[in-house]
Structure 1
Amino acid sequence: MRMPGTAPEWLFLLLALVGGVTAAVSSLRLLRYLALCLRRPRDLRRRYGAWAVVTGPTSGIGRSVALELARRGLNLVLLDIDAANLRETSDTIRSRHAVKTRTLVFDLSLVATPQGDESMRRLRAAIDGLDVGLLVNNAGMANPFLAYFHEADVEAWLRMVRVNLWALTEVAAAVLPGMVERGRGAVLNMGSASSEGMPSFPLNTIYASTKKYVAVFSRSLYVEYRSKGIDVQCQAPMFVATRIVPNILRDKWYLSPLLSTTADAYARAAVRWIGHGAICNPNLSHQLQRCLLAIVPEAALDWCLLQFVRRLRAESRGVLARVGAVGNGTDRKNSM
């Protein structure tokens, strides 16, 4: 007989079932990760093709991925906005690895403009006749950072949309037809845990929204093209210590080695995971964090994220104010 005021037995069973399923899913993810780590890496050149196209390869994850692909024997077509940085990256790659490189100066924020159309024509010409087996859509931007939607100029938001969304789409559209013709290839689109591991990312709304597009775009292409021998994947990392994270925030606890990773370490895992699933996070620490976040109710997580980014915003503005006061010889109040 159930005592008054106690929960029914079925509720305890339901909670136990939910907990068991959650634990089982987390365990399967961990086992899959460990199995992939122990498995011999794929020969990407043999499986997909001799060339890879990498956007944003001059710093951060993009540079590390480009170097890792070169170490695996792939020739590279490198796209970036800065010609000098492209030359330095290309020279570094060829000095370390016996591969070929081609560079293309491309301001991805001009996609869907006449200047962008000309750059797309030059990209198609650059890859014409090449056995392009891999596309890494890595280029992205996060500025304006920690800003309410109404605070930034519309053009600033559109610039982010062009780089994170339109450019990724147009570059994929330029490369995919050749893969379809050859019957093999892989596309790696760099997403973010801000759209996959969290229900919201306040004060970074446009960034998270563009990354949500990347995830849905990638999953849909994965379904469309898997039967044609083409693997499409979105990777959704959490914190990685790259240039996209402002310097004033890099000494925080959430960028500690336990919670974040270096670009080189991420790249090694990222390349190993190419072709294994439509959406993934190749870093073990990031996977565990995502599992923990999945347990928290969305409303509570929304509140915590809002407090978190508000605190970051206040701290970053305080640091900028102090830096301005020292550099300009003015007091803190006047330097804001």
Structure 2
Amino acid sequence: MPQQQLEPWFLSVAALGALYLAAAAFRLLAHLAVCLRRPTDLRRRYGAWAVVTGPTSGIGRSMALELARRGLNLVLVGRDPAKLRDISETLVSVHGVKTKTVVFDLALTSTPQGDEAARRLRDAVDGLDIGVLVNNAGVAKPCAVYLHEFDVETWVRMVRVNLWALTEVTAVVLPGMVARGRGAVVNIGSGSTEAIPSFPLYSIYAATKRYVSQLSRSLYVEYKSKGIDVQCQAPLFVDTKMASSVTKSKRSSPFVPSSDAYARAAVRWIGHGPLCVPNVGHRLQACLCAAVPDCIHDWLRLREHLRQRALFQRLRAARGAPPRTTTTTESEASRDTS
């Protein structure tokens, strides 16, 4: 009798498990289908030019190189003239594309200096067939800290880069896309807001990336009928040349792609849905994360980030760094979180 009473419960759980596995398998197959199909001709579908923010290193540099390899000309937006000149010369010499550079410290968005830089960006894209916009630049530092441990201006600068600047650059480029009836906007979000429920000690970073995800989804719905694809890409850890000591232990993992490998997958995914995790390894990790209860995620993340906090405190003390740090763009500094 007890066994007979348990049978319906067991069958229900088994059915739910089978449905979950079937859904996960379907998502994985859909992902593999995009990876295996012939790449989209971005220049023909969207336009001859792409705009990339934060293109001087890391994911941003790899994205710029991959787009140039696909035949797109580049408008490069960053704060360091020398580094912009370096990537511009590389793109021209290696891929033979045209480039423009715009010096724009995105941490100054919504200030008089930022307004002047935004005007230069509008002038640079005026009359160009901008087909793709990649909003890559973002701030991840200060890393692994409590909210009260840094002054408000530090967090305001993070919000300016991750949230306000992305919105302003998108608003600059979108009118031309609407007029031409085609285009693609790619916003680099984060797996910290998609694969797991919380990201303690990186709270402002995760909150700004959640904004990116929600903005992208809403703009996708708004502009799809106008021929414009808006997409949020949510990577997990990516191995960059300037990876911090916190992520070095992960660099040998098959689930941590190089920035070049990530860019190849990311560019292939442009135009395929409002939200994506382009890398196969990252997608598998996200599927595994979905099966773990939120309370377990919360405990593990807090434990790991407290460990990182202790490490960063030792590093800052060794360098004699003041409590207040300078703002950097994600492509110009190590990406300590993803």
TM-score by length of 1: 0.92
User: 3-state SS of the aligned residue for 2:253?
Assistant: coil
Written as runs of structure 1 = structure 2, the 5 A alignment for 1:39-54 is: 39-54=37-52
**Match of residue 218, structure 2, among 211, 217, 220:** 220
**Match of residue 78, structure 1, among 73, 76, 79:** 76
1:203 corresponds in structure 2 to 201
**Match of residue 91, structure 1, among 89, 92, 107:** 89
Output one character per residue of 1:3-30: Cα deviation in whole Å (capped at 9) or x when no partner: 6xx9743332332122112111211121
The alpha-carbon distance between structure 1 residues 42 and 301, as it changes in their structure 2 partners (threshold 3 A), is: same
1:64 corresponds in structure 2 to 62
1:141, 1:244 within 8 Å by CA — same for their partners in 2? Answer: no
1:289 corresponds in structure 2 to 285
* Aligned mates of 1:115, 1:244 — CA distance in 2: 28
**Match of residue 307, structure 1, among 299, 303, 306:** 303
User: 3-state SS of the aligned residue for 2:74?
Assistant: strand
More deviation, 311-320/257-266: 311-320
Work out which structure has the larger RCO, using CA pairs closer than 8 Å and 6 or more positions apart in sequence: 2
1:103: how far off? 0.1
2:236, 2:282 within 8 Å by CA — same for their partners in 1? Answer: yes
**Match of residue 262, structure 2, among 266, 275, 291:** 266
1:259: how far off? 2.2
The alpha-carbon distance between structure 1 residues 316 and 259, as it changes in their structure 2 partners (threshold 3 A), is: farther
1:233: how far off? 0.4
* Aligned mates of 1:278, 1:312 — CA distance in 2: 32
Q: Which runs of 5+ in 1 are unaligned?
A: 325-336
User: 3-state SS of the aligned residue for 2:174?
Assistant: helix
Amino acid across the alignment from 1:256: S
Residue 2 (structure 1) aligned with residue 2 (structure 2): yes
1:150 corresponds in structure 2 to 148
2:216, 2:274 within 8 Å by CA — same for their partners in 1? Answer: yes
Amino acid across the alignment from 1:55: T
Amino acid across the alignment from 1:131: D
1:162 corresponds in structure 2 to 160
Count of paired positions: 320
* Aligned mates of 2:319, 2:169 — CA distance in 1: 39
* Aligned mates of 1:243, 1:187 — CA distance in 2: 26
Residue 183 (structure 1) aligned with residue 181 (structure 2): yes
1:228: how far off? 1.1
Amino acid across the alignment from 1:97: H
User: 3-state SS of the aligned residue for 2:66?
Assistant: helix
The alpha-carbon distance between structure 1 residues 132 and 298, as it changes in their structure 2 partners (threshold 3 A), is: same
Q: Of the two, which has the highest radius of gyration?
A: 1
1:334 corresponds in structure 2 to none
Amino acid across the alignment from 2:54: G
1:300: how far off? 1.2
1:243: how far off? 6.0
* Aligned mates of 2:5, 2:286 — CA distance in 1: 31
Residue 249 (structure 1) aligned with residue 246 (structure 2): yes
Residue 298 (structure 1) aligned with residue 294 (structure 2): yes
* Aligned mates of 1:120, 1:162 — CA distance in 2: 13
* Aligned mates of 1:295, 1:244 — CA distance in 2: 32
1:329 corresponds in structure 2 to none
1:231 corresponds in structure 2 to 229
TM-score by length of 2: 0.91
1:304: how far off? 0.8
Structure 1 outlier segments of 4+, above 6 Å:
none
The alpha-carbon distance between structure 1 residues 12 and 52, as it changes in their structure 2 partners (threshold 3 A), is: same
Task: Give aligned-pair identity as a percent.
Answer: 62
* Aligned mates of 1:114, 1:297 — CA distance in 2: 46
Output one character per residue of 1:231-283: Cα deviation in whole Å (capped at 9) or x when no partner: 0000000000136742x22321x333322111000000000000001111110
* Aligned mates of 1:230, 1:243 — CA distance in 2: 33
2:324 corresponds in structure 1 to none
Amino acid across the alignment from 1:109: A
